[in-house]
Amino acid sequence: MRFSHSVLLLQFLFFASLTAQNMPPEYTTQRIQGDAPTIDGDLDDPAWQQVKWGTDFHQRQPDDSAPVSQETAFKILYDERFLYVAWRAYDTDPDKIEARLGRRDDFPGDWVEINFDSFNDKRTAFSFSASASGVRGDEFISNDGNNWDESWNPFWFFKAKTDEDGYTAEARIPFSQLRFGKEENQTWGLQVNRNLFREQEASSWAPIKQTQPGWVSRFGILKGLNGIKPRKPLELQPYVLGQVRTGGGFPDEDPFGRKTDERLSAGLDGRIGITNDVVVDFTINPDFGQVEADPGAINLDGFQIFFQEQRPFFVEGRNIFNYRITQAEAGGSYNGDLLFYSRRIGGSPSRFLRERHGAGRFVRQPENTTILGAAKVSGKTRSGLSLGLLSSFTEREFATVIDNNGEAREQVEPFTSYNVGRVQQDFNEGQTTIGAMLTSVNRDLHTEELNFLHNNAYSGGMDFVHRWKDRAWALRANAVWSQVRGSEAAITRTQTSFEHNFQRPDADHLSVDTTATRLSGTGGTLAIGEFAGDWVFETGLTYRSPGLELNDIGFLNNTEQFNYFAWGARRWRNPTKAFNRFQWNHNIYAGWDWSGESLNRSYNTNVWGQLKNFSNFRFFLNLEQQDISRNALRGGPLFRRSPGYAMGGGIGTDGRKKLNAYLYFNGGKSYDGNVMGGEVGLEINYQPTDALSLYVEPSFNPSTRRDQYITTLTDDGRTGYMHGKIDQQVISLTMRATLNLTPDFTIQYYAQPFVARGVYDEFKIVDNPLAKDFDNRFIVFPENNVAFNGESGTYQIDDDTDRGIDWEFGDPDFNFLQFRSNLVVRWEYRPSSTIFLVWSQGSSGGTDPTQSAFQALTQDLFANDVRNTFLVKGTYRWVR
């Protein structure tokens, strides 16, 4: 009997221990009695004696089974308007604390952090980070930790101080910067983190294993918040701007050759709380002159180039508007398709007027469309409903033309409104989410010259995510649709555009309807995967119908495709004898067009990891077994590209060092040897002092392909798809330097020279586009049948030796040069109130294609006129 009782007692203690281990930790705060603490980094204020320290941190990386190297503690207090946080980061060797400086949200050193899930919805949270050097970081966390939006810039204060026991940090966070309900007694999710830089050790108060998916859903609990009232935010941020532009590349005879333009303007950004849960952000006459220039890029395959959004208004809060149609772990070209791509707003005018200097025609064309104003409503209610509404208006734009008929203004962009709506509802403690999104673009077309644009464009989507088995498994599904409306010319243009190609002669299932005034289409994705443990996988299907069109407000890479993808990985997250971390991935891709024709089959395997000495590496191998393109002939029939292989990777040194580097390289070729190329680049980071960081990245990308498309020609009823052999070189050099005089005063310089050269020969025309043998796909013109007319700058080809010109096309050789730079002096003289001094410099144009890319870079980079922009901008953020 005693034995049975002993066994039962041991079983009870064992299961109680397991239960305690799985229970989230709790911390109880208290309202301040007396004076609030002074935010100076010292923790000797009497108020801090009113609550206990939160302790017992757990290592998360590199080894979640090992104890922490250094202890950490925290305290939380509050009063009517603010939360107060104190951190004590103990360090047995305080001289080794890394206090490197950086701009806001960018601090490569030691730091502590606190995350509040103030709605306790287990999906969203607000993160506040404090570095030992005094740099602030703040991010809005969504999708249970899968999205960290560093563009969120709340108004808060903190100070840090180093002493003989380590370092301390003290913060004051206004309740107006958080979102929470109206309950008298609040319970929030809570996580406190620390980064120990020299050990690359991450630790957390609420334990999270590396093999466990999710982040916010695994927080601890914050109790003791009683009687706090939600505060509706009211923030205004006016700005004034003075700008001077010089240069511009005008020839001497150009009547627009005035070298200097001046501009003085003002605008306003603001935030108004409808409720504590829902806010309105707005901007009037926005200016983004302090934003870094886009990197140089050139693309000869016809697909659009995607550029990241960098404008603050559109970046902040973008997580709720992020609707990726696929988002597969395996990747793929379709992964970039978006229902909403904010770079469509305020982009280059849709109509481009060409100059003809020799004929006396000169044009002054606006570079970008003016954004008159924009507003967005965003928030999340206590019931788990997330919502986002965005509306923006752009100005009608005109180009000025001077020719033999005098001076005239021609419209190049209509007045346009852009609207986006997004809702998501959480169920089952955030494990299930159902959402919807709608977009619209409406153009006020007043001139016949703009009838190639859509009058209206609408799109929408429904999405569903369900997680189960402690969030280890996930099922994702979505469906999207679109409809564009416009003139017969506009819809015909869309049907025959690069993404659609309804005119393909071999597509019996497609046809161009020249009388149509609207076009509709659908798309969607279904995927399932397991993301917990050492072995993980995801597999799914995604499709785009021929009529899907999103590019008025979204980003659509291609249509008429049905794709299968699969991804699987083996992960070693905790240290082994050789590695701190290691992962081996496998990916499979297959695609078909709408008629069922097999287009592509490929396989990828890759590894990445970190060695015990904190150096890192990645290597990959791509094997392509079939590549048939529906776009390569720009409306022509399906075209077989030579399949092949590619391999490459990168090797990086210890990122903790003042000087570290990452060498990346890749190369590949088709199995038949008709396509080959590669790239090599080197990223070098050097931080000679805590205040100064330097970055340089040279890269070189040579390639050769014998099936490069040039143009489509017609001759006596024949259609010829002209191709050639191209030898291409691309060189870029990206440079950044940041000097932090204080955590709030920085000088940053960015520059990138970019050169792309392509030289063509071996001209040929497509004969049998699907032939498996490369030589059977083309008719190659003998050199004797090809002549270059230097006077007209065209190639002339006689393909039947009758000494007549059967095909004629412009010289495709190019040597493109571009230089972009920004020098930004940024002083945040009070939290979120900033003065900018900016010098931007830009030059682009061409040079002699017979020169190599290296010659162009060293001799002709500044041969074209350089445009300089000088800007002074001041903002003041008023917060109630």
Half-sphere CA count of 586, side-chain side, radius 13 A:
7
DSSP classification of residue 306: P
Determine the pLDDT at residue 87.
98
Rounded Cα gap, residues 167 and 159, in angstroms: 11
**Bridge-partner residues for 74, per DSSP?**
54, 87
Inter-residue contact 137 to 152 (CB < 8 Å): no
Determine the pLDDT at residue 7.
47
Determine the pLDDT at residue 107.
81
CA-to-CA dists, residue 705 to 340, 709, 720, angstroms = 35, 10, 19
Determine the pLDDT at residue 14.
46
CA 873 to centroid of chain Cα atoms? 26
Identity (one letter) of the amino acid at 702? P
Residue 669 falls within a domain, yes or no?
no
Helix locations, 644-801, DSSP H: 774-777
The tokens 């580097």 sit on which residue? 661
Determine the pLDDT at residue 22.
67
Residue 729 falls within a domain, yes or no?
no
Determine the pLDDT at residue 234.
81
| CATH of residue 135 | 2.60.40.1190
**Bridge-partner residues for 520, per DSSP?**
483
For the chain, helix, strand, coil in percent to 5 are 10, 50, 40
Residue 791 falls within a domain, yes or no?
no
Cβ contacts of 482 within 8 Å, gap of 6 or more: 457, 458, 459, 460, 520, 521, 522, 547, 548, 549, 550
**Cα 702-706-710 angle, rounded to 5 deg:** 95
Inter-residue contact 693 to 738 (CB < 8 Å): yes
Cβ contacts of 248 within 8 Å, gap of 6 or more: 257, 259, 865, 867
- Give me the domain span that covers residue 137: 12-226
DSSP classification of residue 835: E
Residue 189 falls within a domain, yes or no?
yes
| Coil, strand or helix at 299 | coil
Rounded Cα gap, residues 516 and 510, in angstroms: 14
Determine the pLDDT at residue 19.
44
pLDDT digits (tens, 9 = 90+) for 388-438: 999 999 999 999 888 888 888 999 999 999 999 999 999 988 899 999 999
Inter-residue contact 250 to 357 (CB < 8 Å): no
Can you read off the two tokens belonging to residue 334? 């379709």
Inter-residue contact 750 to 738 (CB < 8 Å): no
Rounded Cα gap, residues 689 and 659, in angstroms: 11
The burial class, CB within 10 Å (0-12 / 13-18 / 19+), for 204 is buried
Inter-residue contact 665 to 636 (CB < 8 Å): no
Mean pLDDT by 10 residues, the chain (880 residues): 48 46 88 95 95 96 93 96 96 95 86 95 93 93 88 89 96 90 91 96 95 94 92 82 70 62 83 82 81 76 86 81 93 93 92 77 86 89 87 93 86 96 91 96 92 97 95 96 97 96 94 97 97 95 97 96 96 92 96 95 97 96 96 95 97 95 97 96 96 96 96 88 96 95 92 94 95 95 90 88 82 92 90 87 84 79 78 83
CA-to-CA dists, residue 632 to 297, 402, 757, 876, angstroms = 20, 38, 21, 51
CA-to-CA dists, residue 312 to 126, 157, 286, 339, angstroms = 18, 21, 10, 20
Identity (one letter) of the amino acid at 711? T
CB count in 10 Å sphere of residue 165? 12
Determine the pLDDT at residue 181.
81
CA-to-CA dists, residue 514 to 71, 190, 280, 464, 503, angstroms = 72, 60, 43, 37, 11
Helix locations, 132-223, DSSP H: none
Residue 403 falls within a domain, yes or no?
no
Phi, psi dihedrals of residue 492, rounded to the nearest 5°: -65, -40
Rounded Cα gap, residues 543 and 349, in angstroms: 31
**Cα 482-486-489 angle, rounded to 5 deg:** 120
Residue 199 falls within a domain, yes or no?
yes
Determine the pLDDT at residue 12.
47
Determine the pLDDT at residue 34.
92
Rounded Cα gap, residues 422 and 391, in angstroms: 12
Residue 301 falls within a domain, yes or no?
no
Number of domains present in the structure of the chain: 1
Determine the pLDDT at residue 16.
45
Give the total residue count for the chain. 880
Residue 680 falls within a domain, yes or no?
no
Cβ contacts of 137 within 8 Å, gap of 6 or more: 104, 105, 106, 107, 111, 113, 127, 128, 129, 130, 131, 150
Rounded Cα gap, residues 619 and 594, in angstroms: 35
